[in-house]
């Protein structure tokens, strides 16, 4: 039951991005990051053993693509700057290609070659639109600087999760128990 609740949340919460582009995106990011913790907590409430099973890693990628696709839709239909829309679409397509190649091959380095820079870019632009419009990149050089600054921590995160196999949810569990 716990896993079904988390999957349902991961399928439904992304629709909030359509109404709340920034808040919905942050909710999806948090839900994705904490899915394991939520399953553990809910399983405890229901008296179940917390179990994801072998299918969840692939399903996780589908659910990620679902919410990122909604973010792309929002970027494509609501951002007035053509260069930002195209950049978002290219970054989404790049990550999507990497996810497909990874699922077909299980070659972990692909996740480092195809990092999810799209999500960081989307969040950066959404935050800038809301509070810092002067920081929205207006030219090619400014866009390049933003992409490089966003890429560096993303590469570190991809390396930690997919190569060092650091699992933050296990660390969180150890702190709480």
**Sorting pLDDT into bands at 50, 70 and 90, what band is 167?**
low
Give pLDDT, residue 84: 98
Read off the pLDDT of residues 44-59 as tens digits, 9 standing for 90 and up. Answer: 776 766 676 677 778 8
Percent helix, strand, coil in the chain, to 5, is 80, 0, 20
Residue 138, helix vs strand vs coil: coil
Cα 161 from Cα 157, distance rounded (Å): 6
Average pLDDT over residues 62-80: 97
Give pLDDT, residue 72: 98
What tokens were used for 158? 């991809």
Beta carbons within 10 angstroms of residue 140's beta carbon:
9
What is the pTM (predicted TM-score) of this model? 0.88
Residue 34, C-beta contacts closer than 8 angstroms, at least 6 positions apart: 169
Strand runs labelled E in the chain: none
User: Does residue 76 carry a pLDDT above 80?
Assistant: yes
Read off the pLDDT of residues 5-40 as tens digits, 9 standing for 90 and up. Answer: 889 999 999 999 999 999 999 999 999 988 888 887
């Amino acid at each position: 039951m716990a896993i079904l609740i988390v999957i349902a949340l991961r399928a439904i919460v992304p629709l909030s991005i359509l109404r709340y582009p920034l808040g919905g995106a942050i909710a999806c990011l948090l839900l994705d990051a904490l899915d394991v913790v939520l399953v553990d907590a809910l399983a405890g409430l229901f008296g179940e053993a917390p179990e994801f099973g072998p299918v969840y890693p692939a399903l996780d990628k589908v659910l990620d693509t679902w919410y990122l696709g909604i973010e792309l839709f929002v970027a494509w239909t609501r951002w007035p700057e053509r260069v930002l829309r195209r950049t978002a679409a290219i970054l989404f397509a790049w990550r999507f290609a990497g996810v497909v190649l990874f699922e077909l091959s299980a070659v972990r380095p692909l996740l480092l070659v195809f990092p999810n820079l799209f999500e960081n870019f989307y969040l950066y632009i959404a935050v800038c639109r809301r509070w810092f419009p002067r920081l929205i990149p207006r030219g090619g050089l400014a866009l390049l600087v933003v992409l490089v600054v966003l890429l560096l921590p993303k590469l570190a995160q991809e390396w930690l999760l997919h190569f060092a196999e650091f699992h933050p949810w296990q660390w969180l569990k150890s702190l709480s128990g």
